[in-house]
Structure 1
Amino acid sequence: MKINRIKELKPLVQTRFLNMYDAKYKNKNGNEKSWMIASRKGYEALADKYFNGKSDEVDAVVIAAFHEESKSLVLVRQFRVPLNDYVYELPAGLVDDNEDCVITIKRELKEETGLDIIKINEQLGSKQLYLSPGMTEESASLVYCTCGGDLSTKYLEEDEDITPILVNRDEAKKLLNKVEKMDIKAFMVLQSFVLFGEEIFTC
């Protein structure tokens, strides 16, 4: 049976997209300690999860997409304010309240790249992975899929500074060897693509 070590949750900062909490918890020796938690969830939702046993819902989707016509992996190069720079990533986006992840996947891939889903591989990926568990309980569903169409930026929101990119296997290998800022999820999928090619999307 799971033991709840968190005894108290105090909101520190509440904003539209990110919240900060001070969590009082018992360490392995039974001593009370504090831990700073960043979360996309509001206080009531997070408290329900910690104290009332509410199920842990996925916050986002991360999309490993293979473009069938060009035999290429889909990446985006996006400006991220915390880095004050551009970074290579996989297409991704937040799941709306009570939204089916398949709807999120189709919407976010279209919005960030202009491409359309052909097929989602239900045997690969994971329904819930944790992104930085030392800082946040935020989780994402990693999805492998095939897609088609032409790259476009016309569906981007005003504050999104994104360039969609198609990289074939040789280009992926070169990109891995360049000194570029890269998201760890994109790095791992790129590495798998270089090693195994399109098989990682179809096995």
Structure 2
Amino acid sequence: MGKIRSVTKMTDNRFLNMYHLDAENRLGGDVNYYVASRASEAAQMKLVKKDDTPDGVAIYSLYGEKRDRIVLVHQYRYAIDDYIYEFPAGLVEKKEDYHDAAVRELREETGLKLELLNVPGYMEKPLYTTIGMTDECCAMVYGYASGTICTDGEEDSEEIEVVLVDRKEAKRILKEEKVAMMCAYMLMHFIASEDPFYFLKCDEDRDI
């Protein structure tokens, strides 16, 4: 097993920082590794704290009387200098429960109200996004959205179009557009299943 000798913070930004890891591999060889992290200090990184506290949350919500549309955002992202389809999402504030963060973020990004589903805990367990380059950990929450779309809560740095996607449009998006991977997998499930939330209704004590 590899070993980390020391961690050095390389940047001082508000939302994301780069850290250098002086490490060694399983054979004792030197390793220089770089990690992007939401942590403001090395002591707050997952490799130090050894916990899976979510940095962010994404919201998979269905909309409409028939609950046959999924709420997505078509958002400009500087990393690719282009627009991409994603779930509404955002960072969890300090000491904020990520379910509360989900309700807040959906309201801020879309103007919609979120009714959270009560699902088995392992279905919402915080997971790592791109572990090869970052220790960012996010939770996915599920629910039903209602209300009227409004983007008045959009920040100056955000360019967001809220879209309510049916199965036909979801298939087109997957074929023709840029889509975040987590969102793409859920769109595939949405297209294929008559009840998009069927998988959430599994009995936690039942073998899967």
Do both share a fold (TM > 0.5)? yes
Match of 1:58 in 2: 54
1:173 to 171, 181, 187: 171
| Structure 2 residue 18 is the aligned partner of structure 1 residue 20 | yes
Secondary structure in 1 matching 2:11: strand
Instruction: Provide TM-score, normalisation by structure 2.
Output: 0.87
Aligned equivalent of 1:196, options 184, 193, 204: 193
Q: Which 10-residue stretch deviates more, 80-89 or 142-151?
A: 142-151
Match of residue 149 from structure 2: 151
Gaps spanning 5+ residues in structure 2: where? 202-208
CA contact (8 A) 1:111 1:155 kept: yes
Which letter does structure 1 place at the counterpart of 2:161? T
Deviations for 1:81-121, whole angstroms, at most 9, x for unmatched residues?
11111110000000001111111000101111111112324
Alignment of 1:32-111 (within 5 A): 32-46=30-44, 49-51=46-48, 53-69=49-65, 71-111=68-108
SS of alignment partner, residue 53 of structure 2:
coil
- Tell me the SS of whatever aligns to 2:126: strand
Query: Secondary structure at 1:127's aligned position in 2?
Result: coil
Gaps of 5+ in 1: none
- Aligned with 2:117: secondary structure? strand
Superposition deviation, residue 131 in structure 1: 0.7
| 1:66 alignment partner, SS class | strand
- Kindly provide the CA deviation profile for residues 123-182 of structure 1, in whole angstroms up to 9, marking residues without a partner as x: 37332111110000001001121111121212212221100000112221222222x111
Q: Give the alignment's TM-score, normalised by structure 1.
A: 0.89
Structure 1 segments of 4+ aligned residues over 6 angstroms from their partners? none
Closer, same or farther: CA 177–55 of 1 in aligned 2, 3 Å: closer
Equivalent position of 2:3 in the other structure: 5
More strand by share: 1
After superposition, give the CA deviation of every residue in 1:25-50 in whole Å (9 maximum; x if it has no partner). Answer: 22121222110111110224336x43
- Asked if the contact 1:192–1:200 (Cα under 8 Å) also holds between the matched residues in 2, the reply is no
What secondary structure, in the 3-state scheme, does the structure 1 residue paired with 2:133 have?
Answer: coil
Q: Distance in 1 between matches of 2:36 and 2:13?
A: 11
Tell me how many residue pairs correspond in the alignment: 198
CA distance in 2, matches of 1:127, 1:28: 29
Root mean square deviation, CA, Å: 1.9
Percentage of pairs with the same residue: 35
**1:186 matched to 2:183:** yes
- Asked if the contact 1:125/1:144 (under 8 Å) is kept, the reply is no
One-letter amino acid of the counterpart of residue 70, structure 2: L
Task: Report the secondary structure of 1:175's partner residue.
Answer: helix
